[in-house]
A and B are shown apart, each in its own frame.
Chain A
Amino acid sequence: MAIVITGGAKVDKAGVETLHGALIPWDSKVASSSGSWVSGLKGRTFFDTPPARFGRMDAFSKLTVGCAHLALKDAAAAGSESFPEGIVLGSLMGCLMTDIQYYAPVCDKGPEHAGPLLFSYTLPNVAVGEVCREFRLFGPNTVISCGEDSALAALVVAHGWLSSGRASALLAGGVEAVDSRVAELCRGDSNADIRSSAFLFQLERQDEPWQPGLPTILGGESEFSPSGFSIERSVDLGNTGMERMWHMLNMGGRGFRAIDVRDKEGYSSSLKVFIDTEKHGSTTRHRTQIKSAAD
């Protein structure tokens, strides 16, 4: 039995990339826009035919749903015949951006200006609900938050659920959607370097690897250091482990790898992976066509 990664996608300020594809940078208009690129996501960035609901979602949900779609497409294009039953999402900041977007007008103008639709998105698991709804995932699902390694911890949870047979395939990873107001709230500096990103992987339980070379998650663990607290929160918010993991998967090679993240709050997680892939080459990779956000 092995828990393998059959597909994946990442979305960050550099652009959009899938595990078996190449980076598609944002249109220069988006890349240079002031404020947060995550605020201007369009459905056509991710979908040939965007879901009708996409435009009404908050930024956190758009990022989650869009990245999920790309990860699923990537896995299918790479030959996976499985489809996830659920999703485990890690997020440190959750929907703080949406919380502020919802409540600031209420403070300014009164409770009659509370938007019911936006309020619905002030729970990070609603983004998970949008993924489940869009892609018909009826199985186990949750959002966990545990410092900067929340996404890594989500992969550990997903690994556990797959190993114990709770599901045969899951989406797992992390999403952070932040803007200058979140940076101001968390760091006291609205101009601080902020980092939104989304990483989602399709994980499958396989009795034996159906294809040599699939990255295999061996397991992981999470700990907490009660004495490790520093009041100065890093503004490189969340998904630290995901960036390292993405880089590792793209580097290829053969052998055991470990991704460890420890943050200033005291949280730490580690994930052990075995990879056995050829170095990045063109024959086994497909190019996923992603439209620019500005199209």
Chain B
Amino acid sequence: SSVPAEEVRDLLELAGRQEQELRALLSEPAETAPGTVSLRTALRSAAFGVDGLDVTISAAGGLGLPAAQVEDVSGAVRQALENVRRHAEATRATVFAEELEGELIVSVRDDGVGFVYDEERLRSQGKLGMLGSMKGRIEGLGGSMRVRTAPGRGTEIEFRLPARREVE
């Protein structure tokens, strides 16, 4: 039995996109200092495997940081994207990262349904879930997390962390 034409087209499109993404990862210029890893490259990999969601990575620079910190941040972003995929009913998400005055600022913005974020109420109802665990994790790293959302207005989750420049 033959594969329906539409499916073939979708597969080709997916393959084409994956090829573009792979090429982007491969041709990443070596702009990070020795001993550091590019956060931007790591975020691109994180965005790569999110099914059904169109994720854009936007970074103010290559953002070379110690590997351990890049891992921490990528992990938090992966969690945030998973949250978007599961609950937001979004078509698009943008991950933005910058380093400003010694602080690393990363945000995940989606164009989904948004919600009423009442942290205390959600926590007391045991409904804080993934957002709660992300917040705990970021705070454990010496940072802070802020959620900006409203019904019908999409959601933005912003992490701030002290940018660790020293290489162990």
Say whether A associates with B. Answer: no
Q: Which residues of B are interface residues toward A (Cβ below 8 A)?
A: none
Q: Which residues of A are interface residues toward B (Cβ below 8 A)?
A: none
